Amino acid sequence: MGSYIPSTNAERRIMLEALGMSSVDELFAVLPEKTRAGELAIPSGMGEMELHDKVTVMAGKNKVFPTIFRGAGAYRHYIPAAVTRITSNETFLTAYTPYQAEISQGILQSIFEYQTMICELTGMDASNASLYDGASAAAEAVAMCRERKKHGIYVSATTNPRITETIRTYCFGSGAPLTIIPEKDGRTDKEALSAMLEKDPQAACVYVQQPNYYGLLEDGEAIAAIVHSYGAKLVAGVNPISLGVYEAPGVWGADIAAGEGQPLGLPLGFGGPYLGFLTCKAPLMRSLPGRIVGETTDSRGQRAFVLTLQAREQHIRREKASSNVCTNQALCALTAAVYMSVMGPAGLEDVASQCHAKARYAAARISAIPGFALKHSGEFFHEFVTACPDTEKTLAVLESHGILGGLPLEDGSLLWCVTEMIGKDDIDRLVDILKGEVL
């Protein structure tokens, strides 16, 4: 397929007729009106160069910040040129999620390599072929833990609120009770967790984010010990870049690890497409939703790859299925695999180390400004929370200088993020602006 081959009006009409529809508007009628762009203000019959110039002017109205101090689940990292070049090959770019992956050894091998690297990164035994995003991966991970007599779901209050809401939606659909574990000084309250599990023999699992929503490191090993002592399972939501310097969840006791794979070579992209990864220990392997690729040998003894362990509603009795997921983010998973291959263990460690070191420098400088005190103590990765004297004014001033400031939280504080894309000069400039124009 070429880079730009539009369908003709006749072809579109044939497709609509096959669907029993009369217009494209009818096809997209299920989408909310406000999410549909409608007709673009572009005259018909324009030449390519003239059209390019007009669209460039239109695109210039988007606000793209050259300096970003915000994360909260979506992070700006450097993407090596090789990642974009390899994955933009039309062989990969135009291949829709492979419904018949069984016939393509190339697709199967790319998924197998992705699974292998994600397992090595998280310290787990098995991985699926990816999910839509980190939030859906977290919800699917929680669903894996439900049993006939154990269906209580516990989620730490230090979890990203958008992930909590996605899990809540899944729980609503399945009828599983969801309980929020309170936080204490920005971290999961371990004493409260222990007391809650002691009263609930039907607790199925506990979901804890590491690093948590405030960027802080949870006491994963201690939480795992508490959860397992009451017969429940521990699901860890992890930032894959942080695993370049911190111990893998499979090492400190998590039964399942899930997370957002966007930091692994995927651009912010105005919110997507992103990638959810989901891994587990061997005893839970048969509960993994979606596709899983295994390695085997063919009739000639040659290395080959096959789809395996597909506990999907299409392959087993519908009432026995734990998930309705039947697709994956093949191109995004391939991108993550290429990114991890290009970076290698040393490269990932370097990125994580830079994020950590620069965030600590930024936290020290920002919190030294009157009114911007650090809200929590202890170890954090690349995000931290500070008080803020005037959130609205602060963000407006920074925006006027081309800087996207921290994410405003409900209590008026700001959640800052620093990645390897931020330099010392950027941090010093931010501090000078806060001192000179906000105070």
Residue 306 has pLDDT above 70, yes or no: yes
Average pLDDT, the chain: 92
Fold of 67-78+345-438: Aspartate Aminotransferase, domain 1 (3.90.1150)
CA angle 76, 81, 85 (to 5 degrees): 115
Q: Which amino acid is at 259?
A: G
Q: What is the pLDDT of residues 270-303, one digit of tens each?
A: 888 999 999 999 999 988 988 889 999 989 999 9
Residue spans per domain, the chain = 67-78+345-438, 81-339
N-terminal to C-terminal alpha carbon distance within the chain? 57
Least confident of 2-6, 117-121, 222-226, 432-436: 2-6
Query: What integer is the mean pLDDT of 224-237?
Result: 98
pLDDT (0 to 100) of residue 212 = 98
Q: State percent of the chain over pLDDT 90.
A: 76
Residue 263 has pLDDT above 70, yes or no: yes
For residues 276 and 130, is the Cβ–Cβ distance under 8 A?
yes
For residues 26 and 12, is the Cβ–Cβ distance under 8 A?
no
- 95 vs 435, residue with greater confidence: 435
Q: Which amino acid is at 110?
A: S
Q: Can you tell me which residue has the tokens 């439900």? A: 146
User: What is the CB neighbour count within 10 angstroms for residue 50?
Assistant: 12
Residue 227 has pLDDT above 60, yes or no: yes
- 93 vs 153, residue with greater confidence: 153
Tokens at 293, concatenated: 């690729």
Helices (H), 151-206: 161-174, 190-198
- 33: pLDDT confidence band, cut at 50, 70 and 90? confident
- 208 vs 2, residue with greater confidence: 208
Residue 333 has pLDDT above 70, yes or no: yes
Distances (CA, A) of 164 to 22, 40, 178, 280: 40, 37, 10, 20
For residues 439 and 369, is the Cβ–Cβ distance under 8 A?
yes
Least confident of 44-58, 115-129, 183-197: 44-58
Structurally, at CATH architecture level, domain 81-339 sits in 3-Layer(aba) Sandwich (3.40)
User: What is the CB neighbour count within 10 angstroms for residue 271?
Assistant: 9
Q: Measured between alpha carbons, how far is 118 from 140 in angstroms, rounded to an integer?
A: 17
Tell me if the bond preceding 273 is cis, omega within 30° of 0: yes
- Residue 407's DSSP bridge partners are 415
pLDDT (0 to 100) of residue 99 = 57
Q: Measured between alpha carbons, how far is 201 from 190 in angstroms, rounded to an integer?
A: 17
- 91 vs 208, residue with greater confidence: 208
pLDDT (0 to 100) of residue 1 = 43
Query: What integer is the mean pLDDT of 232-246?
Result: 98
Q: What is the pLDDT of residues 342-379, one digit of tens each?
A: 999 999 999 999 999 999 999 999 999 999 999 999 99
pLDDT (0 to 100) of residue 317 = 61
Same fold flag, 67-78+345-438 and 81-339? no
Distances (CA, A) of 256 to 119, 136, 262: 11, 14, 19
Q: Measured between alpha carbons, how far is 341 from 121 in angstroms, rounded to an integer?
A: 12
Q: State percent of the chain over pLDDT 70.
A: 93
pLDDT (0 to 100) of residue 5 = 67
Residue 83 has pLDDT above 70, yes or no: yes
Residue 183: which residues within 8 A CB-CB, separation 6 or more?
156, 157, 158, 189
Residue 122 has pLDDT above 90, yes or no: yes
Q: Measured between alpha carbons, how far is 341 from 113 in angstroms, rounded to an integer?
A: 10
Residue 48 has pLDDT above 70, yes or no: yes
- Residue 210's DSSP bridge partners are 238
For 402-428, give the secondary structure using H, E and C.
CEECCEECCCCCEEEECCCCCCHHHHH
